[in-house]
Chains A and B, each alone.
Chain A
Amino acid sequence: MDSPGTYLETNLAPGSAFLESDVAGRQAKRSSNRLLIAALLMVMGLVLIALCVPLLPLQDPIATDYDHMAEPPAAGHLLGTDLHGRDQLSRLLWASRTSLLVGVVAIGLALLAGIIAGGAAAYGGSLVDSFLMRMADIFLSFPIILGAIAIMAVLGPGRRNVFIAIAFFGWPVFARLFRSSVLSVKKLNYIAAARVLGASDARIFFRHVLPNSLTPLVSYGTMAVGGAILAEAGLSFINLGVQRPNPSWGLMLSESMGMFEQSPWLVIPPGVAITVTVLIFILLGDAATRALDPFNSGPETR
C-alpha cells in the first residue's frame, strides 16, 4: 500500500500493456521498441563504417608530410592535417576501428569472465561463492582508471594491453550481476517444475536459467562498451594506450592539447567522435533495458 498511484486498486498493474484498455501503456511499449530499433541501427551504422574504412579511398593515416603541417581543412585534406602532416580525416576514421574494437572485445572478455565467475559462484556452493565474491570486492575496490594505469605501467603500453587492463577490472561487475540474476532465477517456480519433470541440471541451466539471467548483463554490457571506449580514449590520451603513430581519438586529442585556438580542426573532430559514439551506446543500453523489461510499467510518471 503506497501513494495514490499504487495505493488504489487500479488496472495499471504490471504487465498492463497487454490490457485492452491501457492505451498509454501500449504506446509506451511501441515507442520503446522504436527506440531500440533506432539505437540498433545506429550501432550497426557505426560498425559498418568502421568495417568499411579499409575499403574507402582514404589517405594513409600514418604517412607524415612535413611540408603540410597543421593545415586547416582544404580540398586535399577534408579535415586538415595534424602536426606531422598526416590527414586528419583518415586518422579519424581509422581510429574508429580501434575504439570499437577495444570497446567490444574488452567488454566481451569481461562479460565472459564475469559469466563464468558469476555462474561458478551461484552454483559452486558457499565456499566458492565467498571466495569469488571477495575477489570481486577487491577488484571493485580499485577505481578502474588507477588500476588500468598500474597495469599499463607494468605491462607496457599498446593496444593489446588495453584490452587486458579494461577486462581485468571490468569482470567483477558482470560477475556480481550474473550471480544475483542466476540466484533469483533459480528460485523461480518454473525451475522447480522443470526439475520435477526430470530435466537434468545442465539442461535446466542452459535452457532456462541462462537466457533469463542475461538480461541485466545485456543492458549493463552495452553501456559498459561506451565506458570502455572512454577508457581507451583516456588511456591513449595519457600515452598508455595506443602508441604513435597509430591513430586513436584519445591520442589525437593529446597531440593537439594546447592548440584549440590555432587549430580547432585538430581538437573538435576526435572529441565529437568519441562523444557521439559513446552516446549511441548509452542510447542502445537504455533502449535495451526498456525493451527487455517485461514489466514496462505504463506511462512515464513520478
Chain B
Amino acid sequence: MNETLLRVLDLTVTHRNTVNSRPAVNRVSFDLSQGSTLGIVGESGAGKSSLALALMGLHDSRRVQVSGSLLFRNTDLLKLSEEEYCRVRGAGLGMIFQDSTGALDPSMRVEDQLAAAIRMHADPGRQKSRELARSRLSEVGITKDILDGAPYAYQLSGGLCQRAMIAMALACDPDVLIADEPTSSLDVTLQSQIIALLTARQKETGLAIVFISHDLALVSLFADDVLVLHKGETVEQGKCSEVLANPGHPYTRSLISAWITGYPQGDAAVAPA
C-alpha cells in the first residue's frame, strides 16, 4: 500500500537571466510515499515556492531552468512535453496556494468553477456535476446557505476561500497535493481546521501531501518527514521526530529556538529571545 509516488533527485532550479547567481533551489532530493506528509520549511526567499512550481512544471521555461530528475510513478516529469505534463497535473499532482481569493476566478460563481473542475476529469453531465459541486463544498464546510448569500469568491472570507480552493484541487482527485503555505494568511483556529481537512482526506484516499510552510512548529504537528530549506539548500532532512530531537544544523536549531514554547533539545536553553 505505501508505494513511493514521488522520487525527487537533485532537483535544481535556476533563473536564466541572472548570471553568477546561486540557484533558487539547489540539488534537493526526497521521496514521497502514499499517505504520507512531507513538510518543507524555510523562510521567505528560501526557494520553497520555486520548488513547488518546479514539481508542478509550472515554471516558464524561457526564464527558468529545472534540472535533475523528478519521477512521478516512474515517469520523469522533466522529460515531458507541456501537453503531457497537463495530463499529469490535476489528476496526478495538485496544488493549493497561499492567496486563496486570488486563486479563484472572480467572475464565476464558486460552485460553477468547482462543477467545471469536476467535469474536466470525469464528466458526469452538467446537472450531476452541479450537485456534486454543492455536496463537495458542503463537505468542506461551505453550505448551501453560504453559497446562496455569497456566490462569488470575493464575497467569501479568507478561510472559506481556502476551503473552496482545496475542494477545487481535490475535485481532480490527485495522488499528490502540494500545499504552498496554505495557512500562512489564516489565524490559528482556521489553520487547524484546514489541516484537519487535509489530513482527513489523506486518511480516506491515501493522498500524499507536500506541505510548505515557514512555520516549523505547525509542520511538526502532523508531518511525517521534514526538509529544511535555507537559501535553496537542504540543511536538514529526515523523519520529523528525529529532526526535532536532534537538529544537526544551526539554522534548524534557530528555527526551533524561535518557538516561545520550546521543544526540549539537547543542552540548548530555550528562552524567548
Contact = CB atoms under 8 A, between A and B. Distances in A.
Contacts of B63: 4-5, 299, 301
Interface stretch (A21-29, A49-57, A89-97, A176-184): A21-29
Interface string A271-302: 00000000000000000000000000011010
Main secondary structure, interface of B, reads loop
A22 B24 CA distance: 15
Contacts of A2: 102
Contacts of A25: 17
Contacts of A75: none
A12 interface: yes
Contacts of A22: 17-18
Interface residues of B, number: 22
Contacts of A298: 17
A8 B44 contact: no
A25 B17 CA distance: 8
Nearest to B53: A4
Contacts of B21: 11, 21
B24 A8 contact: yes
A23 to B, nearest CB: 6
B99 A1 contact: yes
Interface string B37-73: 0000000110001100100001110111000000000
Given A8-B24, A25-B17, A301 B62 contact: yes
B7 interface: no
A20 to B, nearest CB: 8
Contacts of A299: 17, 63
Contacts of B109: none
A278 B34 CA distance: 65
A115 B113 CA distance: 48
B93 to A, nearest CB: 16
Given A1-B102, A10-B15, A21-B18, A301 B49 contact: no
B1 interface: no
A9 B45 contact: yes
Nearest to B44: A9
Choose among B17, B19, B59, B98 the residue with the greatest number of A CB atoms under 10 Å from its CB.
Answer: B17
A174 to B, nearest CB: 34
A25 B98 CA distance: 29
A246 to B, nearest CB: 54
A4 B17 contact: no
A7 interface: yes
B20 interface: yes
A5 B64 CA distance: 9
Given A2-B102, A4-B53, A11-B15, 9 more contacts: A1-B97, A1-B102, A4-B58, A5-B60, A7-B53, A8-B53, A20-B20, A22-B17, A23-B19
5 contacts: A3-B58, A9-B45, A10-B24, A11-B15, A299-B17
